[in-house]
Structure 1
Amino acid sequence: MKQIPVYHVDAFTSTPFTGNPAGVVPDAGALTEEEMQNIARELNLSETAFLLPPQHPEADLKVRFFTPTSEIGFCGHATVGSAWVLATDYGWLEKAERLVLETNIGLVPVEWQTTDGRLTDVVMTQVTPKVRDAEVSAADVARWVGVQESDLDTRYPIRLGHTGNWHLLVPVKTRAAIDAAQPMLSELEAINRRQEAVTTHLFTLESKGGDYDLYTRDFGPAVGIPEDPVTGSANGALAGYLVLEGVLDNATEHRLTFAQGDAMRRPGRLQISISSSPDGAVIRVGGAAVPTLKGMLTLP
């Protein structure tokens, strides 16, 4: 029998039992892929991050992400949770101003933000965004996500967006319509698998004076997650979509607050900046985290 440390971390929040919970295994170098999948299934969180020695010469650590059913290329909230644990329990906040994580989709730099020496936020720079046609009808999408076709916001196109994973991005007129959505999960699973997408992501630019600029909701049955509370990768892809589709001016720097999780009673907030570079839009996604459980996991 062997034991390894494991954490349960709520990401994109500073309040326990809100935001998106992730598993974090900080010392996974001796684990097999089968053991990682079994641990992710045992923890039964949307994603669990496993930290290993890096293979890339520019990386500080390698991280692999598993849902209860499969490995995925990238996970935003588990990245935030992992970086928070590394900073607070493994001394990285004193070692360096940032670290570089090697993931299956490339290198992801992560920076710390502090106030009076206290960690307040973790900010990751996601890979360069891209979009492609979803090749689906508005009527079908409305039926799959469980809203009326008239609820869709036709000012903006339905697209697949990517900053690490592909996500089906669906514009909706109002938060009320998003909150009332009753998705057909089996249908979404089939279309996302066909599109090689991880989730379907509903969004609205209606804020009505709230503490956010965009409101979202995310469904991922194709990777064993009926609904994910607060998604760093999907909202990063959405931020890229906003400039690539001309919703926002790509020559201007934008700082936005995205809200998600309210419909699941796990509200979270993401701080997202969008800037330009010679290589394309730069998407930086940040937020706080709070560990709620730390212990030892026993393996056979």
Structure 2
Amino acid sequence: MRRFSQLDVFTATPLKGNPLAVVHDAQGLSDDEMQAFARWTNLSETTYLLPPTDERADYRLRIFTPGGELQFAGHPTLGSCHAWLAAGGQPRAAQQVVQQCGVGLVTVRRDGARLAFAAPPLRREPVDDGVLAAVVDAIGLPAGDLLGACWLDNGTKWLGLRVASASRIRALRPDHARLKALAKVGLVAMQDAEGAADTQFEVRAFAAATGVEEDPVTGGLNAGIAQWLIGEGLAPARYVAAQGSALGRAGRVHVERDAASGTVWIGGDVTPCISGTLSL
């Protein structure tokens, strides 16, 4: 029997964020068993807490979607850290936790009751015109509404699209079958009067290749978007993004770039929903 937690991430209200399944004490599980359970939960991510193999880390994390393993993802990082601490985990440093995962070491800081992770290094690449045209057509975005595009890779690769209208983003009904063969797509636009008043940007994430057509609230994507937009002067150093509106969620992603270090921090509330034991 293993400890099991299910949490709602990027929300202080249950059922309004992105759910995460966390298996504690996961040593002894095979890759196939981890993948099978992730398919069974059918959540955007299921994670497994393990002892670290790097002496600088407090724990090691493996992250699985229904379709495969990820080297890094944001909402699993925050949710798993919360679960690890709630289960009695003791970090080496009082105000921060160091997570070991596929991209290396990720720092999670305690900011009051909220956790925030340091965005991993981002690789940006230009987008082939043919791929971009196919993606824009598959999501049903009028060409005139596209303001910019680039690949965003921080351990998970997204095609980032900057869109002129938040209302347009919320209204999109993409062809997920076509997108599955093209790219995972993240869209961002400045918030408008029809969106949440406490936010400055609207985000959506289409990820059919992972086995989940739309990821409700996506920390890793928001990290890449923040580094892209802040780096180009298109977003302030501190803002809140809304995500999940089209799915009936109300995710809130808190972004802040540290002026001294340049580190971009991605924070959010975590709400525990289920706690128990698991037999695999």
> Shorter-chain TM-score category?
over 0.9
Of the three residues 38, 41, 48, the one matched with 1:40 is 38
Find out whether 1:85 has 2:83 as its counterpart: yes
Structure 1 Cα separation of the partners of residues 223 and 204 of structure 2: 13
Counterpart secondary structure, 2:111: strand
Once residues 58 and 93 of structure 1 are traced to their aligned partners in structure 2, the CA distance between those partners, rounded to angstroms, is 10
Deviation string, structure 1 residues 196-244 (Cα, Å, up to 9, x no partner)? xxx2001101333821111000010111110000000000000111134
- TM-score of the aligned structures, taking structure 2 as reference length: 0.92
Cα distance change of structure 1 residues 179 and 88 upon mapping to structure 2, 3 Å threshold: same
Q: 2:135 aligns with which of 132, 141, 144?
A: 141
Equivalent residue number for residue 196 of structure 1: none
Tell whether the 8 Å contact from 2:38 to 2:46 is kept in structure 1 after alignment. Answer: yes
- Letter of the structure 2 residue corresponding to residue 124 of structure 1: F
Match of 2:241 among 238, 252, 258: 258
2:165 to 144, 158, 174: 174
Alignment of 1:151-190 (within 5 A): 151-152=145-146, 154=147, 157-190=148-181
Q: Aligned pair in 2 of structure 1 residues 102, 93: CA closer, same or farther (>3 Å)?
A: closer
Amino acid paired to 1:172: V
CA displacement 1:162-220 (0-9 Å, x = unmatched)? 2332211111111211111111212212122xxxxxx2001101333821111000010
**1:134: how far off?**
1.5
Matched, 1:267 2:265: no
Match of 2:229 in 1: 242
Change in Cα spacing, 1:289 to 1:94, as seen in structure 2 (3 Å) is farther
Aligned residues: 277
Aligned AA for 1:259? Answer: A
What is the letter of the counterpart of residue 125 of structure 2? R
- CA–CA separation in structure 2 for the residues paired with 1:72 and 1:160: 17
- Structure 1 spans left out of the alignment, 5+ residues: 115-119, 193-198
The one of 105, 109, 112 equivalent to 2:110 is 112
- Distance in 1 of aligned mates of 2:232 and 2:110: 30
In the alignment, the residues of structure 2 paired with residue 165 and residue 94 of structure 1 have an alpha-carbon distance, to the nearest angstrom, of 28
| Inter-partner Cα distance in structure 2 for 1:139 and 1:162 | 20
| Distance (whole Å) between structure 1 residues aligned to residue 264 and residue 156 of structure 2 | 14
Maintained 8 Å contact 2:230/2:237 = no
Moved more, 224-233 or 82-91: 82-91
Deviations 1:41-93 (A, max 9, x none): 12111001111111112111110100012101111111111111122232548
CA distance in 2, matches of 1:211, 1:66: 32
The match for 1:132 among 125, 129, 143 is 125
Question: Which stretch shifts more, 8-17 or 143-152?
Answer: 143-152
Name the SS for the 1:178 alignment partner: helix
Q: Distance in 2 between matches of 1:91 and 1:32?
A: 23
The Cα of 1:139 is off from its aligned counterpart by 4.0
Q: Is the 8 A contact 2:135 2:182 kept in 1?
A: no
Tell me what 1:297 maps to: 278
The amino acid across from 1:128 in the alignment is P
Does the C-alpha gap of structure 1 residues 245 and 189 become closer, same or farther in structure 2, counting only changes over 3 Å? farther
Partner of 1:207: 192
SS in 1 for 2:221: helix
Give, as a single letter, the amino acid of the residue that structure 2 aligns with 1:113. D
Q: How does 1:25-36 map to 2 (within 5 A)?
A: 25-36=23-34
**Mapped contact 1:128–1:282 kept (Cα < 8 A):** no
**Does residue 213 of structure 2 align to residue 226 of structure 1?**
yes
Per-residue CA shift, 1:232-281, capped at 9, x if unaligned? 00000001111344425xxxx71110110111011110111124667xx4
CA distance in structure 2 between the aligned counterparts of 1:214 and 1:126, rounded to whole angstroms: 18
Question: How far, CA to CA, are the matches of 2:90 and 2:240 in structure 1?
Answer: 27
For residues 113 and 277 of structure 1, the distance between their equivalents in structure 2, rounded to whole angstroms, comes to 17
Secondary structure of the 1:18 match is coil
Task: Name the CA distance, whole Å, in 1 between partners of 2:248 and 2:30.
Answer: 35
Secondary structure in structure 2 of the residue aligned to 1:56: coil
Q: Distance in 2 between matches of 1:33 and 1:223?
A: 16
Q: Sequence identity of aligned pairs in percent?
A: 33
